[in-house]
Amino acid sequence: MKTLLLIVPSLIQGGFERVCVDTANYVKDEMNVKIVLFDSTKTFYDTGDIEIVDLNKPSVDSRIGKLFNVLARALAVKKAKQKYKADIAMSFGPSASLPNVLSRVKGCETWVNLRSYMDLSNHRQMSLFCDRADRVICCSKGIEKEIRDNYNPGRTDTVYNPFNLERTIDLSKAKEKLPLKSEEEFIVSTMGRDDEVKGYWHLIKAFGLFKKKIPKAKLRIIGMGDFKECKELAADLGISDSVEFTGALKNPYPMLKQSDMYVLSSINEGFPNALIEAMALDLPVVSTDCLTGPSEILADELSKDIKEVKCEKYGILVPRVSDVPDYNSNTLEPEDCLMAEGMIKLASDAELLSKYKEASRRRVNDFSPEKYIECMFNLRI
């Protein structure tokens, strides 16, 4: 039985951390799997019976400290590869992939997982990954295309994130104390941390326009962070009473299921897990056509950089939004108006709403654990 080391900085709440844990659980019957962490003190995900190897190399703040930490992590990873006689070492995220490619060991393949479009922003680091990794695994075809166009990688593959449909549905049925919802109320939800890459100022402005057409509308932002600037923007727009910030929820799915529509307003994504999670709960979706991810999910093709609202096969795509933060309530960009247009189009058409509810549930089956396992083992894992 082959030994697989899955290397990740920590298991705090996040997309590639979840993929790491899911990968371990999906292949544990076929491989000797261990999750290698640099810091196990803030563990969010339940790893069950998967063995955890804590290298005890937490992050540091100073620039010199960071440099020495990378070297210390690389040495610790190399020792782990040798100790456990690893056949494959697969890392998730740049801060895990850097020590992975710097600690190559004979007989152990080095695999780098790219799970975010932002991973591509560091050209020198990407060149190192593509030069030293035996395989670069991408979470979307858009990311794989960018790598092939801009670097000289060896072997690249696209493996979409796995998604456990049954688990999400079961979690959505948990008995949680939820806010009361009237029959007239129309809830728009989104899910993600307080980060400018999520483009929430665009969504709040678009929602302000949406609410003028759908007066009983409410926006619910589920995710970790204080959202200070977003709250101030909502107040300036006079819609504070209709915008709810829930904070991080251990189980967000009952609240998500209570929604009528899901909107993804991101500037960049790799493969947006939250979009798939919303679709699994039969939510019709509106999403920006950001560079990678949403178009592949909703239109089954690479991003086309659209300039208008497009009703695609599995949901509505709206144009990409600016990455320049603008929390001024007196300014509106054309893309904000188009996002609102897509939302209004969906909410105002009962037939279209029903169509995309059904399409969401149908599409999510294409990202099942079985599909993921098949793809991974096709890589000769």
pLDDT of residue 282: 96
- Beta-bridge partner residues of 248: none
User: How is residue 3 written in tokens?
Assistant: 């030994």
Give the integer Cα–Cα distance in Å for 88 and 157. 16
Q: Are 284 and 262 in contact (CB under 8 A)?
A: yes
Residue-level pLDDT at 163: 86
Measure the CA–CA gap between 213 and 234, rounded to whole angstroms.
Answer: 17
Q: Where are the alpha helices (DSSP H) in 38-164?
A: 63-83, 94-101, 123-132, 141-150
List of domains in the chain: 3-159 (3.40.50.11930), 166-366 (3.40.50.2000)
Strands 243-247 and 285-288: unpaired
Contact predicate 24/109, CB 8 Å? no
Give per-10-residue mean pLDDT for the chain (381 aa).
94 82 90 94 84 93 88 96 97 94 96 85 90 93 91 89 88 85 91 94 98 97 95 97 93 94 94 92 96 92 91 97 96 97 97 97 91 85 68
Q: Could you tell me the pTM of the whole model? A: 0.82
Q: If you write DSSP's letter for every residue of 269-326 in order, what string do you get?
A: -SS-HHHHHHHHTT--EEEE--SSSHHHHHTSS-----SS-EE-SSSEEE----SS--
Give the per-residue pLDDT at 35. Answer: 97
* Distance linking the first and last C-alpha atoms of the chain: 11
| pLDDT (0 to 100) of residue 212 | 97
